[in-house]
Structure 1
């Protein structure tokens, strides 16, 4: 399998272009068969989401990767890993840091419980993203097997030559002549065939198909041998709903989010077409929003609650007795059921030194005018036109401090704040900190 690493909004060139075209995290030259497949299957068709779009650069047609991160494999065996664009650098250190950042975000958002992740050396992140994730999953299953596979009583019906369990009277009366000495019985048998083990079996089979690492393949085969007498799950959703979380199953808890992740029950994103391959892709905007929410949950001051994707307000209160244009801020902070702050998360590299595009002295820093309007609507409808609304962007070299406050009027203001992904904190002005966050979380 041929592997390539690129990041969001990078360019994919078709093999056969002049060799003078440079390749790095921002541009890769991939085989013609892979390029043609992406052009056909991943440009979106109205029903399926778009992963790439055609774009001309240096006189040649390229495919530009959009804001999805993760991994995709084409039918010809070309593996493309897409990393977050979190800095302007494109060297190997940026590749390793980008891979580490993505795994860190997936770990927090999907509850993958990678306990040793924070202590991991950068050498670990020289492996392709799927192999890092598969390796962590296999270690979790290995720990589970060491503590013992749980079994459960299952009702069995059988015809035996001896009486076992409960005699099925109706079935016994229907026995044909000459077979009255056989008993129609029902009994409980203690078997490992239970939903949790079926899902683990299915997940192990899936990662064995995906993995290209000899070490991961070896461990997956060893673990599959343990589950050999247990059927794989044929109904994922039904088995997940029956996953038990009682005291006897505590050592299974760490594996559940992994199974959901691997079996696509959390539905990150898949490509259209007949070939899906090893494809797990995540919209980076959504991943950043969910990551900020998970961090903020732990940093809220006492008495405040966080609600994601609130949907209780409309832009138009009444039109023909109906409300229109629902307003859904990313994050809403409340206290005593009263909204006190609205936050919207944007995965974009702002520039605190960027001048207004029209060339005057007013600075817009790369902010979207539509976002400014949207936050104003949130402030009016959720905060009653009084208070603060926030736009949260990733912190990087050219956005290290909060921007000067934008005042809509004397009652409502907009704060544009960086969020540091290295140590998980909001870069808020220490002299004017909001009451909803612990003071020791400030930069």
Structure 2
């Protein structure tokens, strides 16, 4: 089955040659994308089936339809030739890292060779990581717990169910109505793992992944098959007895639940594993900010605040609620508001406003008024046109106020230095905001 690849906001022309996609396959993929919850949201849609090309929008991931699949990758500047398999491999690494941080998962990718990153799609890589982790976990033993059971036995086990005994077996004393607890593997966590294996078996295309999934399906043969909609997620409690399964539980939610993505399956409908980059970037930055602030006098709140821009004169109720991406507190005082935007800003030499939208500025001015923070940051992904280093790109004072509003960039292509970059260049943890910038 042919697999095509495209970067977000780029196009695949219709055609039969390299770098093209046949028009009939483009139409199938566009139809599959229309079933996504991300479809039809302007720039945040999934695919646009144009007259001569298939154009990707602000959603990344993998879409499969009858006879083909399409991988949409984010536009992340990496140290590789543009359009090469090496570039796609490096981008997949960065995207998997962002997902791991956003979902608070420990995903070990060291065992994946460069060849795997370059030749396998994002979906196949995630399936392979899940299969490897699940295989290791079941080798150590599947989680079990005692479940209440009822059975009619020849010898007493547990306690005797007197009402059932004297109604059902009053004429047959050879049977005892017993109630007892039995150690069982047929529990909510294992049912979720089985459902994930079943779900991925319909999505996987790699022969190696399909073989791994068949082996895992055999391991879970005695566990009840439950539909995704009926899974008892709330019954799963991750504690010291099963903490080795925490990451697998998180990955199961990644595949089966609509946190950052949407998935769909069905005969003739295709499948999709899609991520809205605006939401993913926001969560990724938020978690990295929390790590950067660990051990300091500052504390970060994600999606907090929720103050209203307006108050009704009639009943005092609020209207137009705000929800800043990141609020940084020192005690009870908000000292910094960060709002993330997954889009490319231009260098100041090209555009004094850097392509920042007027609506974003109005939004930040509302935050300045409501939260009284001395510092506001619009944070974007870094790219090569902005220079070699990420950090503060431009700084302004809100007219008539001492409040500082800045644009900044974060290099998501560098996994090791993100926390340090946020702490040293973006956050500039200083009590004197006016002197915090060097």
2:380 aligned residue? 393
Task: Give, in angstroms, the shift of residue 275 of structure 1.
Answer: 5.5
TM-score, scaled relative to structure 2: 0.85
Task: Give, in angstroms, the shift of residue 209 of structure 1.
Answer: 2.1
* C-alpha spacing 1:354/1:66, structure 2 compared with 1 (3 Å): farther
Which runs of no fewer than 5 residues in structure 2 stay unpaired? none
Structure 1, 276-285 or 312-321: larger mean CA deviation: 312-321
1:390-430: CA deviation from partner (whole Å, max 9, x where unpaired): 01111111123522312213411211111121131547886
Task: Give, in angstroms, the shift of residue 152 of structure 1.
Answer: 1.7
- 2: distance between equivalents of 1:215 and 1:431? 43
1:78-133: CA deviation from partner (whole Å, max 9, x where unpaired): 11111001239333332122111111111111233113x25754323121111111
Task: Give, in angstroms, the shift of residue 352 of structure 1.
Answer: 0.8
1:42·1:271 contact (CA, 8 Å) conserved in 2?
no
In the alignment, structure 1 residue 346 sits paired with structure 2 residue 341: yes
Corresponding residue to 1:418 among 406, 409, 412: 409
- 1: distance between equivalents of 2:143 and 2:422? 47
In the alignment, structure 1 residue 209 sits paired with structure 2 residue 196: no
1:48·1:272 contact (CA, 8 Å) conserved in 2?
no
- 2: distance between equivalents of 1:169 and 1:411? 79
2:300 aligned residue? 306
Structure 1, 142-151 or 229-238: larger mean CA deviation: 229-238
Residue correspondences, number: 417
* C-alpha spacing 1:162/1:48, structure 2 compared with 1 (3 Å): farther
In the alignment, structure 1 residue 408 sits paired with structure 2 residue 401: no
SS in 1 for 2:271: coil
- 2: distance between equivalents of 1:258 and 1:249? 15
1:195·1:242 contact (CA, 8 Å) conserved in 2?
yes
2:33·2:63 contact (CA, 8 Å) conserved in 1?
no
Q: Which structure features the higher share of helix residues? A: 2
1:12·1:62 contact (CA, 8 Å) conserved in 2?
yes
SS in 2 for 1:247: coil
In the alignment, structure 1 residue 7 sits paired with structure 2 residue 2: no
1:12·1:35 contact (CA, 8 Å) conserved in 2?
no
- 2: distance between equivalents of 1:102 and 1:430? 23
Which runs of no fewer than 5 residues in structure 1 stay unpaired? 357-362
TM-score, scaled relative to structure 1: 0.84
SS in 1 for 2:252: helix
- 2: distance between equivalents of 1:226 and 1:150? 13
- 2: distance between equivalents of 1:183 and 1:157? 10
Task: Give, in angstroms, the shift of residue 255 of structure 1.
Answer: 1.4
- 2: distance between equivalents of 1:432 and 1:248? 38
* C-alpha spacing 1:285/1:354, structure 2 compared with 1 (3 Å): farther
* C-alpha spacing 1:41/1:275, structure 2 compared with 1 (3 Å): farther
2:24 aligned residue? 32
